[in-house]
């Protein structure tokens, strides 16, 4: 059912054929994947790449902490916490949702994007060349995500298969970490070697990462999107391999706000929140983005398989969220938004086929972010190299490793050399884009990424 992962997810597998990388000419500063619409196709402003990251950390105002009153986040105040976050970013970010052309021509003050993500990355699978990273689209800087079968949302009236496309931004505090990781980059020479071995990838308090995502369904094809904000992107249709890129209309359905807040979340350091589009809410398309929920821990003390009626403590789900948005909640109804990948279909457990399995969550997935990227798969698969759909038994000791609370410096893997990336799956993905350029026959002063290159050679998106 799923052909590609959503863009904050890990780069994954499914090939045993010999692969040959063809990525030596990747430009880490590329604005987009090089596919530009003609004036006849699109006559508006194109997306701009902002990467002049702050070189110092300035402790930002954090009004959402007022909700906490000095205590960790709870289900009682999670809704107000989410809404305070939304109010905080709204003045600078609402045009991203409501007015794409205005956003593209603005300075995008206070928001930054990621290096090593613009250009597509290709590999050879046998005699064929395939993309393992599609790069950014030129109109709105979006990344391709997974394809979702219409049957997933049949009850809410979805009539066509859809693909998720998302855009990601970092605030000043978060972008300071990007500066630390990419501080050795030179745009003139295109040399851009990352630094992660001395906690450079750890984010500071008040760091905010946002992800807005839309799909290619019109309101006629999916009624829940009536009145939703419309974006345009320039991509090849996912259901026609021979098609050329074209302008595609998206309707925006989700908006994630992820914040580093160790008061709210003393165990993991992060709070993941998701807004979803509710056509019946009042106001404009931004106003109609309402809380689906928040998550600040994996509830490791609650074995949701063995104790399905035990309420979660570290996840809040808005009881008034639209019905379509709860279809893809994760394991034990831990937070996972629409278009995410927490629910797996047609998997195998203990030798038996299971049609549908809630197998992940926001924190569970992001908590696997690590160097090298092959150390921990993003959901509880026994052997992702050979059979990514054979899962550990839900609720077992092995399964529960994906649902622990760890700080951002502690990798899930206990293997020597594992470096935690502070819950940033996107950083992991672009580090693998960098790794794909390495020449293992030369001393590039980047030996730590050689293993990662091998990982990329053995895997591709699916």
Residues 21, 452 contacting (CB under 8 angstroms) = no
The answer as to whether 425 is a domain residue is: yes
Q: Please report the pLDDT score of residue 24 as a whole number.
A: 60
Residues 2, 341 contacting (CB under 8 angstroms) = yes
The answer as to whether 2 is a domain residue is: no
Cis, bond preceding 58 (omega within 30 deg of 0): no
Lookup: tokens for 361: 């969550």
d(C-alpha 237, C-alpha 242), whole Å: 9
d(C-alpha 174, C-alpha 424), whole Å: 11
Q: Please report the pLDDT score of residue 10 as a whole number.
A: 36
Residues 182, 196 contacting (CB under 8 angstroms) = no
Hey, what's the torsion of the CAs at 362, 68, 261, 213, to 10 degrees? Answer: 40
For the chain, give percent helix, strand, coil, nearest 5. 20, 25, 55
pLDDT < 50: residue spans in the chain: 1-22, 441, 443-445, 448, 455-462
Q: Hey, how many other C-beta atoms are within 10 angstroms of the C-beta on 126? A: 11
Lookup: tokens for 336: 């996972």
d(C-alpha 258, C-alpha 295), whole Å: 10
* Residue range(s) defining the domain that contains residue 170: 63-459
Contact residues for 109 (Cβ-Cβ < 8 A; gap 6+)? 92
Q: Hey, how many other C-beta atoms are within 10 angstroms of the C-beta on 291? A: 25
Cis, bond preceding 372 (omega within 30 deg of 0): yes
Contact residues for 387 (Cβ-Cβ < 8 A; gap 6+)? 348, 381
23 to 308, 352, 377: CA distances (angstroms): 47, 40, 24
d(C-alpha 133, C-alpha 403), whole Å: 28
The answer as to whether 227 is a domain residue is: yes
The answer as to whether 3 is a domain residue is: no
> Each residue of 334-379: pLDDT tens digit?
999 999 889 999 999 999 999 999 999 999 999 999 987 666 788 8
The answer as to whether 36 is a domain residue is: no
Across 69-141, the runs of DSSP E, i.e. the strands, are 121-125, 128-133
Closest-CA residue to 318 (of 299, 333, 301): 333
Looking at the chain, the number of H-run helices and the number of E-run strands are 7, 19
Residues 257, 264 contacting (CB under 8 angstroms) = no
Longest dimension (CA), the chain: 61
Alpha helices in 314-443 (DSSP H): 362-366, 397-400, 425-435
Q: Please report the pLDDT score of residue 229 as a whole number.
A: 99
155 to 282, 324, 327, 359, 372: CA distances (angstroms): 23, 8, 10, 21, 40
The answer as to whether 23 is a domain residue is: no
d(C-alpha 362, C-alpha 389), whole Å: 19
The conformation of residue 421, written as its DSSP 8-state character, comes to -
Q: Please report the pLDDT score of residue 127 as a whole number.
A: 75
The answer as to whether 415 is a domain residue is: yes
Q: Please report the pLDDT score of residue 447 as a whole number.
A: 53
The answer as to whether 338 is a domain residue is: yes
d(C-alpha 105, C-alpha 164), whole Å: 24
Q: Please report the pLDDT score of residue 452 as a whole number.
A: 52
Closest-CA residue to 373 (of 443, 441, 420): 420
Q: Please report the pLDDT score of residue 12 as a whole number.
A: 31
Total number of domains in the chain: 1
d(C-alpha 223, C-alpha 206), whole Å: 37
């Amino acid at each position: 059912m799923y052909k590609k992962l959503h863009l904050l997810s890990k780069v994954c597998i499914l090939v045993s054929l010999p692969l040959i990388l063809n990525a030596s000419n990747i430009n880490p500063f590329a604005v987009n994947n090089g596919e530009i619409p003609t004036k006849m196709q699109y006559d508006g402003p194109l997306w701009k790449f902002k990467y002049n990251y702050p070189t110092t950390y300035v402790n930002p105002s954090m009004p959402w902490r007022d909700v906490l009153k000095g205590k960790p986040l709870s289900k009682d105040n999670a809704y107000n916490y989410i809404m305070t976050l939304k109010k905080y970013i709204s003045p600078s970010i609402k045009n991203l949702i409501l007015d794409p052309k205005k956003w593209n021509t603005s300075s995008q003050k206070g928001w930054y994007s990621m290096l090593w993500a613009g250009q597509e990355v290709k590999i050879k699978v046998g005699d064929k060349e395939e993309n393992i990273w599609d790069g950014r689209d030129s109109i709105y800087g979006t990344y391709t995500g997974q394809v979702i079968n219409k049957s997933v949302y049949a009850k809410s009236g979805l009539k066509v298969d859809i693909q998720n496309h998302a855009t990601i931004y970092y605030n000043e505090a978060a972008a300071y970490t990007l500066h630390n990781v990419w501080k050795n980059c030179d745009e003139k020479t295109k040399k851009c070697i990352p630094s992660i071995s001395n906690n450079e990838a750890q984010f500071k308090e008040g760091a905010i990462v946002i992800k807005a995502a839309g799909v290619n369904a019109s309101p006629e094809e999916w009624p829940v999107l009536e009145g939703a904000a419309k974006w345009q992107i320039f991509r090849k249709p996912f259901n026609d391999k021979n098609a050329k890129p074209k302008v595609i209309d998206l309707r925006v359905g989700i908006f994630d706000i992820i914040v580093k807040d160790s008061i709210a979340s003393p165990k993991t350091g992060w709070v993941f929140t998701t807004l979803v589009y509710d056509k019946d809410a009042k106001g404009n398309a931004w106003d109609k983005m309402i809380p689906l929920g928040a998550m600040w821990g994996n509830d490791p003390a609650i074995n949701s398989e063995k104790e399905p009626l035990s309420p979660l403590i570290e996840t809040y789900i808005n009881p008034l969220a639209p019905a379509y948005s709860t279809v893809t909640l994760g394991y034990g109804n831990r937070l996972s938004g629409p278009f995410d990948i927490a629910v797996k279909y047609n998997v195998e457990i203990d030798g038996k086929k299971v049609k549908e399995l809630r197998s992940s969550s926001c924190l569970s997935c992001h908590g696997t972010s690590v160097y090298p990227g092959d150390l921990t798969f993003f959901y509880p698969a026994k052997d992702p190299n050979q059979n990514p759909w054979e899962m550990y038994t839900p609720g077992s000791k092995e399964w529960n490793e994906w649902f622990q609370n760890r700080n951002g410096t502690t990798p899930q893997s206990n293997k020597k050399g594992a470096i935690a990336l502070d819950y940033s799956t996107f950083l992991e993905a672009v580090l693998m884009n960098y790794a794909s350029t390495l020449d293992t026959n030369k001393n590039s002063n980047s030996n730590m990424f050689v293993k990662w290159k091998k990982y990329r050679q053995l895997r591709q998106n699916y």
